[in-house]
Amino acid sequence: MDGVHYLLDLAIILFAAKLFSTIGKKFGVPEVVGEIIAGLVIGSAVLGVVKESDFLSIMAELGVIMLMFEAGLGTNLQELKSSGVKATLIACAGVIIPLILGTILFMSFYGFDSFGSERFMKGIFLGTIMSATSVSITVAALKELGKLSSTVGTTIVSAAIIDDVLGIILLTVVTGLSGGSQSESVSSVLLKVPAFFAGAIVTGFLVYRAMSWLDGAYSHHRRIPIISLCYCFLLAYLSETYFGIADITGAYVAGVILCNLSDRDYVARRVDISSYMIFAPIFFAGIGLKTSFGAMDSRLLMFSVCFVIVALVSKVIGCGGCARLLGFDSGDSLKVGAGMMTRGEVALITAQKGLALGLLTADYFTAVILMILVSSVVTPVILKKLYQ
Amino acid sequence: MDGVHYLLDLAIILFAAKLFSTIGKKFGVPEVVGEIIAGLVIGSAVLGVVKESDFLSIMAELGVIMLMFEAGLGTNLQELKSSGVKATLIACAGVIIPLILGTILFMSFYGFDSFGSERFMKGIFLGTIMSATSVSITVAALKELGKLSSTVGTTIVSAAIIDDVLGIILLTVVTGLSGGSQSESVSSVLLKVPAFFAGAIVTGFLVYRAMSWLDGAYSHHRRIPIISLCYCFLLAYLSETYFGIADITGAYVAGVILCNLSDRDYVARRVDISSYMIFAPIFFAGIGLKTSFGAMDSRLLMFSVCFVIVALVSKVIGCGGCARLLGFDSGDSLKVGAGMMTRGEVALITAQKGLALGLLTADYFTAVILMILVSSVVTPVILKKLYQ
């Protein structure tokens, strides 16, 4: 990176994100969507004035971590407990349906084959890519609508967190089945996931006690939000590095642990300001920034379009249908289904793993990126419509 | 960088900075000093748990940029105008005295020589390294004391800004005299500096008008602080990249341009929160983090100690003495002199340039780093004592 070029990048990203989100708002489009489009416009897809860099990736990651930490802080523990069983079932349905439909989609394009064959495995893998919800966009959209702590909001967020864990297990099983040497053993994953949550709960209890004491002694002191943020970063680091669980899940859990702190709003406000001033716009614009439309033949284009449609619809059927069966009314079921449609970096990471294992060719990346982009743009718009 | 290691770095830095600044406060030491010491402790000098990285350098730079932007925003324009002439004279004295005393120090250690000789040039170069004040630590210390907008505070900050410009000119002249091919021509620098300030004032007037209009239409909207910060980053980028003026000076000028905005405090508050939650502690801890004590022979050690003492004393004599002559009372003169003692990255950059030109050997870097560290720790402590 030459000199202080990152300053120009920051100025352009923050300005464009604010400009497009403001314009979007005038047309009733959620701010998040405006920010993603800003990234598309300034990125290589259109103007090409800002390029991806390591620095921007880290800033974007910090943005989504802070977003999830805030979501955790805003959690109503009672609500979370009561939504637990339902959220788990919704998450399961939201993984199984896309997995099945994704496999069928692949085979209907490239030919059906028997269980265990290479073509079948490729189909399963494409289904796996479809299965992981990325909740950050939904969190931002719900926050904008003021519905993050509602029953539907809590259900979506907790289902997405469970979905994340299911996604890891699924990926491990699939790569294990296809015999990749770099894949982790299923049993190790099945040990690590409960170990993380058990560890987080036990240490979280101690952290909460310590923070409560500190908060009682130094209410509304800067040290409260700063140390809370340290804890968030630490848990995000530990979850990703030692337990194979996404850093954003760690950040969310850190937020949940601190969500009953009496200074909870004071902390959330400070994290929110840091986030919206710099980090969050970089994350949302970063989604657009990453997108470039490579050369595509008509078959791949057709496949990509179907891929995106199946990805969206399968979550609505899986999660929304399950919610309906669990007693949500049809409006709320649709909201749950729509809220779970967003895909993100987990899909990309899974696709990269597939590339390394030879289960995927680079061509399919365009389909995956399209799915991330379309779901990120469509979800907030649909959620807003549903809440009107 | 492996995976999300930066999360661990952030958690450690923010926690240590807060811990040490809190402990320091109990002993009456300014917070800034506590944060620098935190960096020393976690850095390679003591524990070695956090290493420097590109990411941390950029975050630190953003921290000091936001700090200077805030200082600019807090400026009283009347005060700045009335302190202009005095500040210029103080800055000149604060460059000339260290230059002379630094040269004499070098030659009294390594032998006197005639004007224009290599040894003489080396002496002059060491004096040049001593001449550039880095005002950021002083700004933080004055802010902590609530004295940033006082007459003394404004004088120090504007003198330091002018000092920065004088430093560039001096460096250009000295490297020009020593005939380095990579040195810029003196005339080009003498054109660029006024061009920057003229350009900043003219465009700044337009920016201020536009922002005032926006502020009137959307008072207390997020867009005001965000766009202000964009402008700060942009001006910092332009000043450093195209005019050879430090990015922090650009940031300060951006703040001054916006300092009469009716939402000025609203903007400053949001920048302040973003800054103290993450960026500023990384900057201050970064000073300690960079420090490591290499092997030293006794002569070099002796020289380094004298170098630090001369560096501190020469600013007090130059700036403080000049302030006294200009009619400040002796207490305020001492504050001005003490406030100008801090050195920072400009000294390091100058030293690096000297290394490239063969005017300096790597040994002297320890002396320069020691000067930065000692002045950064001593200045806030002395300022606090003087204000009591």
Give the pLDDT band (50/70/90) at residue B299.
Answer: confident
List the structure tokens of A366: 């365009």
Least confident of A1-5, A280-284, B116-120: A1-5
Is residue B356 within 8 angstroms of chain A, CB to CB? Answer: no
Reported confidence tier of residue B281, pLDDT bands at 50, 70, 90: very high
Distance of CA A276 to the CA centre of its chain: 18
Instruction: Return the residue of A nearest to B62 by Cα.
Output: A7
Q: Do A234 and B8 touch (CB under 8 A)?
A: yes
- Give me the pLDDT at residue A34, please: 87
Q: What percent of chain B has pLDDT over 70?
A: 95
Inform me whether the C-beta atom of residue A140 falls under 8 Å from chain B C-beta atoms. Answer: no
- Alpha carbon distance A177, B318 (integer Å): 76
CB burial class (10 A; 0-12, 13-18, 19+) of residue A79? middle
A vs B, Cβ pairs < 8 A, gives 126
Range among A175-189, A241-255, A344-358 with highest mean pLDDT value: A241-255
Measured in angstroms, the CA of A186 and the nearest CA of chain B are apart by 22
- What distance in Å separates the CA atoms of residue B148 and residue A180, rounded to the nearest whole number? 62
Listed in sequence order, the residues at least 6 apart from A153 whose beta carbon sits closer than 8 Å to its beta carbon are A142, A147
pLDDT band per the 50, 70, 90 thresholds, residue B183: low
Contact B270 A273 (CB under 8 A): yes
- Supply the pLDDT for residue B23: 92
Nearest-Cα residue of chain B relative to residue A56: B55
Contact across the interface for B4 and A274, Cβ inside 8 Å: no
- For residues A183 and A82, the model is more confident at A82
- Mean pLDDT score across all residues of chain B: 87
pLDDT of residue A281: 93
> How far apart, in whole angstroms, are the C-alpha atoms of residue B40 and residue A203?
29
Does B234 sit within 8 Å of A7, measured CB to CB?
Answer: yes
**Interval A348-360 mean pLDDT:** 77
Contact (CB, 8 A) for B342 and B276 = no
- Nearest-neighbour CA in chain A from B307: distance (Å): 30
What's the rounded Cα separation, in Å, for the pair B68 and B272? 11
- Torsion B187-B193-B194-B200 (CA) sign: positive
pLDDT band at B277 (very low <50, low <70, confident <90, very high): very high
Q: Which of B5, B18, B62, B277 to mutate to test the interface with A (most CBs of A within 10 A)?
A: B277
B28: left (phi over 0), alpha (psi -120 to 50) or beta: left
Closest approach of A5 to chain B, Cα-based (Å): 7
Q: Is B48 left (phi over 0), alpha (psi -120 to 50) or beta?
A: left
CA distances, A162 to each of A61, A233, A321, B276, B384 (Å) = 20, 20, 17, 34, 53
Is any Cβ of chain A less than 8 angstroms from the Cβ of B208? no
- The pLDDT assigned to A232 comes to 97
Which residue's structure tokens are 């729509």?
Answer: A338
Domain boundaries, chain A: 5-387
Contact B241 A4 (CB under 8 A): yes
Distance of CA A232 to the CA centre of its chain: 17
User: With contact defined as beta carbons under 8 Å apart, do A300 and A363 qualify?
Assistant: yes
Please give, one letter per residue, the 3-state secondary structure of A215-275.
HHHCCCCCHHHHHHHHHHHHHHHHHHHHCCCCHHHHHHHHHHHCCCCCCHHHHHHHHHHHH
The answer to whether B226 faces chain A, any CB pair under 8 Å, is: yes
Residue with the two structure tokens 């492996």: B2
> How large is the average pLDDT for residues A73-78?
81
Average pLDDT (B88-92) is: 93
What's the CA gap between B75 and B151, in Å, rounded?
10
- pLDDT tens-place string over residues B351-386: 877 777 778 877 787 788 888 889 988 999 999 999
> What does each C-alpha distance from A30 to A21, A35, A269, B327 come to in angstroms?
7, 9, 21, 59
* Cα of B365 to nearest chain A Cα, Å: 22
Burial of A120 (0-12, 13-18, 19+ CB in 10 A): middle
pLDDT for res B11? 97
B294: pLDDT confidence band, cut at 50, 70 and 90? low
Residue B242 in contact with partner chain A when CB distance is under 8 A: no
Virtual torsion, Cα B24, B29, B35, B39, nearest 10 deg: -80
What CA–CA distance (Å, rounded) separates A340 from A320? 9
Chain B contacts in chain A segment 81-100 (CB below 8 A): none
Measure the CA–CA gap between A31 and B223, rounded to whole angstroms. 12
Digit-coded pLDDT (tens) for A252-300: 899 989 999 999 999 999 999 999 999 999 988 988 887 776 666 788 8
A241-251 confidence digits (pLDDT tens): 898 787 888 89
Helices (H), strands (E): how many in chain A?
17, 0
Rounded mean pLDDT of A333-345? 90
CA B192 distance to own-chain centroid: 21
Is B234 an interface residue toward A (CB < 8 Å)? yes
pLDDT per residue as tens digits for the range B127-179: 999 998 888 888 888 888 888 888 889 899 889 888 877 877 787 777 776 65
- The pLDDT confidence band at residue A111, using thresholds 50, 70 and 90, is confident
Pairwise pLDDT comparison (A67 vs B165), residue with the higher score: A67
Q: What is the pLDDT of residue A355?
A: 77
- Going from the C-alpha of B56 to that of each of A193, B236, B369, the distances in angstroms are 31, 18, 18
Render pLDDT for B336-345 as a digit per residue (tens, 0 to 9): 999 999 988 7
Query: Which of A55, A226, A276 is nearest residue B55 as measured by Cβ atoms?
Result: A55
Which DSSP helix (H) or strand (E) runs through A298?
helix A298-315
Cα(A310)–Cα(A297) distance, integer angstroms: 20
- The H-or-E segment that residue A173 falls in is helix A151-177
In the DSSP assignment, the letter for residue B326 is T
Q: What is the pLDDT confidence band of residue B31, given thresholds at 50, 70 and 90?
A: confident
The per-residue pLDDT for A1 is 39
Mean pLDDT, range B269-282, rounded to an integer: 93
Given a cut of 60, whether residue A2 has pLDDT beyond it is no
The SS3 assignment for A341 reads coil
Say if residue B28 is exposed, middle or buried (CB neighbours under 10 Å; 0-12, 13-18, 19+). Answer: exposed
> pLDDT tens digits, residue range B65-86?
998 898 888 877 877 788 888 9
What's the pLDDT at A326? 92
Task: State the pLDDT at residue A343.
Answer: 87
Q: Please tell me if residue A55 touches chain B, with a CB cutoff of 8 Å.
A: yes
Decide if B276 and A65 are in contact by the 8 Å CB cutoff. Answer: no
CA distance A46 to chain B (A): 21
Please give the backbone phi and psi of residue B153, each rounded to the nearest 5 degrees, phi first. Answer: -60, -50
A145: three-class secondary structure by DSSP: helix
- Tell me: the pLDDT tens digits for B209-252? 999 999 999 888 899 999 999 999 999 999 888 987 878 888 98
CA dihedral B251, B18, A14, A3 (to 10 degrees): 50
**A55 within 8 A of A288, measured Cβ to Cβ:** no
Which of A233, A238, A349 to substitute to test the interface with B, most B CBs within 10 Å? A233
Distance of CA A213 to the CA centre of its chain: 33
Portion 100-139 of A in contact with B at CB < 8 A: none
Mean pLDDT for the stretch of residues A69-86: 83
Its sign, for the CA torsion A149, A147, A21, B217, is negative
The phi and psi torsions of B135 (rounded to 5 degrees) equal -85, -10
- Chain A residues in contact with B62 (beta carbon < 8 A): 10
> How far, in Å, are A104, A243, A278, B265 from residue B275 at the CA level?
51, 31, 11, 15
Mean pLDDT is highest, among A210-214, B121-125, B190-194, for A210-214
A26 and chain B: CB distance < 8 Å anywhere? no
Q: CA of A17 to nearest chain B CA: how many angstroms apart? A: 10
Residue among B11, B22, B54 whose CB faces A237 most closely: B11
Q: Which amino acid is at B162?
A: I
Mean pLDDT throughout A87-94? 92
**Hey, which CATH number is domain A5-387, 1.10.645.10, 1.10.3080.10, 3.30.565.10, 1.20.1530.20?**
1.20.1530.20
On whether any CB of chain A is under 8 Å from the CB of B285, the answer is no
Give the mutation candidate from B53, B233, B240, B284 for the A interface (greatest A CB count, under 10 A): B233
Identify the weakest region by mean pLDDT among A124-128, A225-229, A378-382, B184-188: B184-188
In terms of phi and psi (left: phi > 0; alpha: psi -120 to 50; beta: otherwise), the region of B53 is beta
Nearest Cβ partner for B233 among A1, A10, A276: A10
- Taking the C-alpha atoms of residue A151 and residue A142, their distance in angstroms, rounded to an integer, is 12
3-state secondary structure of A151: helix
Helices (H), B243-297: 247-257, 264-274, 280-290
Cβ pair B10, B50 in contact under 8 A: no
Contact B319/B328 with Cβ under 8 angstroms?
no
